[in-house]
Structure 1
Amino acid sequence: MLPHSTSARSIANLSCRRSQTFKAFYATIRGLRDSTAEPDEPPPPTASNDFILSILRANPSLRDSRSYLASFGPRPQPKPVVAHVLPDLPAVAPSIPKPADPAVDTKTVVEQPKPSPILASILNPIYRRTALVKVQGPFTDVQLDSIARGLVYLDKLGLVSVIVVENDNLVRGEENDRSEIIEETMRVVSMLEKQGARARPVLGSVVRLGPKPDEDVAVEPGVHLPEAHTLPSDLIPIRSALRAGEIPVVPPFALDSFCRSVRVDANDVIAALARGMVEAAALGKSSAFDEKAADFSEDVDLTPLRLMIINREGGVPSYARSGNPHLLINLTSEHTHIHETFRDSWRESHPTSLSNLSLARTCLTFMPPTSSAIMVSHRSPSSLIGNLITNKPALSSSLPHALLQGNRKLTPHTPTLLRLGLPIRVARTLDQVDRTKLNALLEQSFGRTLNEDAFYKRLETALDFVIIAGDYAGAAVVTNEPSSDGGEPISYLDKFAVLPSHQGDGTVDFLWVALHDESYGLGHPSSANPNGGKEGKGEGRDLVWRSRANNPVNKWYFERSTGHVRMGSWVLFWCDAEKRLKIEQGRRGSAGLSYVEDWERGRLGVWADVASKIPSSWK
């Protein structure tokens, strides 16, 4: 028998070895789960779960999903050409092959089998599109890692980023600024590869300073052409990287008139790329970039679908949201107004907001009408997925302001979505309305035939105003209806219509915001928008309208109205005048509004009576 001390020591050693064996076994299992993971790193399924959760948080509607699939889903493949055998040719019986004639040079041509486009679309069903991305630092490694993860998620969904790197702390012209910006570019490349993507630094200049030769491009007034340009041959490195499945990362370099590569403002590089990539894609549509014959495994549509500006500031601050960002901007009608109302304090907290706003306007001028831009903080990389799938802001800008102010999603880091948009104008008389275009809009939107004579005869006496978006892409017709109790006329939304081709591109929200500014939102600070109307001056009025109970748009109306009441096969909606609500709330102090105010009593009966007597406008 061993001594007691020896026995105890042996047991202790055995216990120690068992503990080490268990630790080694645990480490081995973790190594099998992820051979590249460090002992202190979280297991990789977290990243996959985060990707899936980011998609689920986007909460896309059926229309959003269809729109995404229309851009990134499989394209219809051309039908194969079937060879027809001519009936008058005699059948040839198999025979012994004749010896080759030595005087004739015969070569056997072996054709390599080509992959079926249908098979390629099944194996890789995502049709790859491009996005221009401005990564505007400086960022810490943790922040840049989060940004890279978001861009890799977009790549998985089919949106490949063409990244231009900028660092606001590296002043142009200082010593070593070129080498420092190259180092910053390589940091972005390393972070992308750390997230599992393949990235390629494109350190040569892909744009040239100065206007494009033989410049003759018609742009909207106030839109500035890029200070640089690019030729199709300059885009070969970017196109090569995209075809190889790599994300090109570009420093802000440009060739000057002496063919020297110099550092320039990243906005000039992005604007030149936006125009150049659209033009290069248009030149190649008949060959490699023909969407109908796209090879899903290699081809990438060079036309930018999105412009993404990722910085530390986030979106553009709004005077109507106490400095919180704009949710959706109509650049055509709001660009100048945002410049005029930009507070001096924001020039310190958001020093590049206005320059990025102008960059978005310039780029979207050349990009397709369905394209959009987003300005987002590095704190919200997952919002890029939501924007890609839905192409909508995080919150609708046409929601009631009280609902927006109390919404947890509206924070200083909420992204701003920007669209080129449409001009908005207000017509006060029928003489200012193009009846032919309005007829076409109403009939296409409602899918019914308008009774023109009765409709316009009624508007001759009842019309208050018509809000028109663009060239009759949308319109809101508001009338003054006599009250059944002899009181003030009722402001009635007679028609609200948007062309089917413009549904989902922001026109609906732009039109409703203008309607808010001209009716129930008058007198509210957020109504001082330059839409050609009263610009927020005046007294707001309750807005009333009705919709059939089975109208699928009612869900949208429920979210934007103050209240509703059912009237048989109809639903009556209304929006209370915001200025009056504010006055009543201030008058009552901390007690707040009661369930039914004195000025509310009996009005629903009057509204229902008036709305039920309005004749149909359709045949």
Structure 2
Amino acid sequence: MFSPARSCLPASTSVAKHCVRNVLASSYATVRSTRPSSLPEPDEPDISSNDFILSILRANPSLRDTKSYLQSFGPRVRPVQQSTLHAPDLSLPPFPTSQGAVNSTQDPAPVHGVAKYILNPIHRRTALVKLQGPFTDRQLESVAKGMVYLEKLGLTSVIVVELDDWVRGEPNEKANAVDETMRVVSALEQQGARARPILQSVVRLGPKPGDHDPEQHNDDTIPAPEAHTLPQDLNPIRSALRAGEVPVLPPLSLDSFCRSVRVHSNDVLGALARGMVEAAEASNSEASLSGHDNPDDVDLTPLRLMIINKEGGVPSYARNGFPHLLVNLTAECNHINDTFHPSWRSTNPTALENLALARTCLSYMPPSSSAIMVSHRSPKSLIGHLITNKPELSSSLPHALLQGNGKVTAHTPTILRRGLPVRVVNHAADLDHDKLSKLLEGSFRRTLDADAYFRRLDECLDFAIIAGDYAGTAIVTNELPRAESSRISAPEPIAYLDKFAVRPENQGDGTVDFLWVALHDESYGLGLSYAANPNGGKEGRGEGRDLVWRSRADNPVNKWYFERSTGHLRIGKWVMFWCDAEKRLKIEEGRRGYAGLSKVEEWEQGRLSIWAKSIEDIPSSWSA
């Protein structure tokens, strides 16, 4: 099952064909230069021209995805500011929110209008690409075709080659690196691209002058690149991009004696990420001061980092070795290293070093940037990632659903975001009232009755999960069942999801999924081996509890809740959702063996009625 932004795919082949016919005319000029190729080998996927267009349609971008894409590639009004962005002929209304939910998903944008702008990008952007072979000719052809299609969508790759079987210090190591570079250039040109090999060194070994200044890098836990680049070093890359050519670089660097030596591609990519961002910032400053802008210039700021290899993404202990779907580098990097199984060092030997590479590069790139670790078997994933900036499947979907639908395979890509720190607060006194009020009012677009709300939290808060500096929150309270609803003298409190909110500017950057996964680990998923939340709180120890919440029946985000809940019940103007404690379900299934669960277990008798009557008594948090 796809995430909300992707869940409204064309229902029939006829619809898809209709959409293709409407975009073929505008896309003909885009795809006509692609040379036809022979049928691919069974284990090597290929992308035909029709697949290219269908990949765009299957990405099915939401309104927010469309707006984000247009901010990067669409028409702009000077000065370049998000608030002044206009998208002609596309209706992008404000994203509505309503009581009881964060606005975490939107309906898909109109297919015809989206395709019109996606297939005719106005502004070109850059991506850093680590091409990590060795690849066969057929594999390299498939990867090169993916790079060509990304360029047609407005994203020009700056490629650094790397081979896993290279040995440092081997004879002719520089010549071998140059040979592989020319092989990649040839593969790109065979697919209709214009490529330029940049064989001179564009990075220099050692720290950049001024790196001793702590303000040069905000996070001491992220290692600085072991190489650097100066503005004039980037002139060959800038020249190639201006000429409409794809720069392809061998992993070479100048040492302190100005000799060109082969280094690891990660050193080159880290230096380029920093240097290209700084060069773009300097160029934008000069353009602002002069008041002149070159519309044919390419923004050097990397929009994406793509690591294309034979391994795929980062293995996850929670998915039995299948890849992580979405990684919050700020909050999860150490946990991923700690839980990396020794056996994966043979199947995914470079996963952790690529994880470190993504963390280094994204620390310099804009917050909206992301990285993807993808197998050469999944080239079409690059198209969907470019358009939506999301994983193929939402990481916050139920674990059993992700494990059992066959969609997650060893070659499923891993999306990596810089992310935000996530922490668990167990005492209401530790909450910042002003920041939390601002977050809730900004997300729900209503005025909070702050005094009454925080008095209630003082009495019944179970825990609150806070993302970043109050960029998002999930607040869970303990609600006592109504006396007439319970037949026992000391009823267990109901774990009630009181608020789930994300600031509008952080909706679409992965914060929603990061929050829900942490919520799962602290409530209904607690006690399972894969729910060891590394961000504080109970850290996986304890018994899971059923989680209950309500949302207005007309809330557009309910569709997102339907996909993540165990069940729902309509009660007047509300829809009540719940998630069953997963550990209890596993224990019950184990006790019954092959008999399975019955339709209504003994412990389920009457609980919906108790929940429904009890949550109706919860007062509104908002001012009239």
Q: TM-score range by the shorter chain?
A: 0.7 to 0.9
Change (3 A) 1:70 1:279: same
Are 2:394 and 1:396 equivalent residues in the alignment? Answer: yes
Change (3 A) 1:269 1:431: same
For residues 134-213 of structure 1, the aligned pairs below 5 Å read: 134-213=130-209
- Aligned equivalent of 1:474: 472
- Aligned equivalent of 1:74: 75
SS at match of 1:220: coil
- Aligned equivalent of 1:256: 255
Within 1, Cα distance between the matches of 2:149 and 2:119? 19
- Aligned equivalent of 1:343: 341
- Aligned equivalent of 2:552: 548
Which of the numbers 411, 419, 444 marks the counterpart of 1:421? 419
2:298 is matched by which residue type in structure 1? V
Q: Contact (CA 8 Å) 1:549, 1:569: kept in 2 or not? A: yes
Identical amino acids, percent of aligned pairs: 70
Are 2:453 and 1:449 equivalent residues in the alignment? Answer: no
For residues 319-358 of structure 1, the aligned pairs below 5 Å read: 319-358=317-356
Change (3 A) 1:291 1:554: farther
- Aligned equivalent of 1:244: 243
1:163 is matched by which residue type in structure 2? I
SS at match of 1:301: coil
SS at match of 1:126: coil
Within 2, Cα distance between the matches of 1:307 and 1:38? 28
Are 2:125 and 1:126 equivalent residues in the alignment? Answer: no
Change (3 A) 1:593 1:294: farther
Deviations for 1:235-293, whole angstroms, at most 9, x for unmatched residues?
00000000000000010000000000000010000000000000000000034599996
SS at match of 2:171: coil
Deviations for 1:468-504, whole angstroms, at most 9, x for unmatched residues?
0000000111000002214210000000000000000
Runs of 4+ residues over 6 Å off in structure 1: 33-42, 121-124, 289-293
Within 2, Cα distance between the matches of 1:396 and 1:506? 9
- Aligned equivalent of 2:62: 61
- Aligned equivalent of 2:523: 519
Within 2, Cα distance between the matches of 1:514 and 1:535? 10
1:575 is matched by which residue type in structure 2? C
Are 2:361 and 1:363 equivalent residues in the alignment? Answer: yes
- Aligned equivalent of 2:13: none
Q: Give the structure with higher Rg (CA).
A: 1
**TM-score, with length taken from structure 2:** 0.84
Within 2, Cα distance between the matches of 1:603 and 1:476? 23
Are 2:618 and 1:618 equivalent residues in the alignment? Answer: no
1:146 is matched by which residue type in structure 2? S
Within 2, Cα distance between the matches of 1:543 and 1:36? 52
Q: Contact (CA 8 Å) 1:548, 1:571: kept in 2 or not? A: yes
Within 2, Cα distance between the matches of 1:358 and 1:199? 29
Within 1, Cα distance between the matches of 2:259 and 2:297? 32
- When structure 1 is superposed on structure 2, of 479-488 and 285-294 the one drifting more is 285-294
For residues 229-308 of structure 1, the aligned pairs below 5 Å read: 229-287=228-286, 295-296=294-295, 298-308=296-306
Tell me: higher relative CO, structure 1 or 2? Use CA pairs within 8 A at least 6 residues apart: 2
C-alpha displacement at 1:57, in angstroms? 2.2
- When structure 1 is superposed on structure 2, of 461-470 and 55-64 the one drifting more is 55-64
CA RMSD of aligned residues (A): 2.3
Within 2, Cα distance between the matches of 1:611 and 1:122? 45
Q: Contact (CA 8 Å) 2:131, 2:159: kept in 1 or not? A: yes
Change (3 A) 1:609 1:122: closer
C-alpha displacement at 1:124, in angstroms? 6.2
Deviations for 1:556-609, whole angstroms, at most 9, x for unmatched residues?
111111110111111000000000011111111112112111111111100001
- Aligned equivalent of 1:28: none
Within 2, Cα distance between the matches of 1:287 and 1:574? 55
Q: Contact (CA 8 Å) 2:119, 2:153: kept in 1 or not? A: no
Q: Contact (CA 8 Å) 2:33, 2:192: kept in 1 or not? A: no
SS at match of 2:300: strand
Within 1, Cα distance between the matches of 2:119 and 2:65? 24
Q: Contact (CA 8 Å) 2:121, 2:153: kept in 1 or not? A: no
Q: Contact (CA 8 Å) 2:145, 2:188: kept in 1 or not? A: yes
Deviations for 1:126-159, whole angstroms, at most 9, x for unmatched residues?
2111100000000000000000011111101111
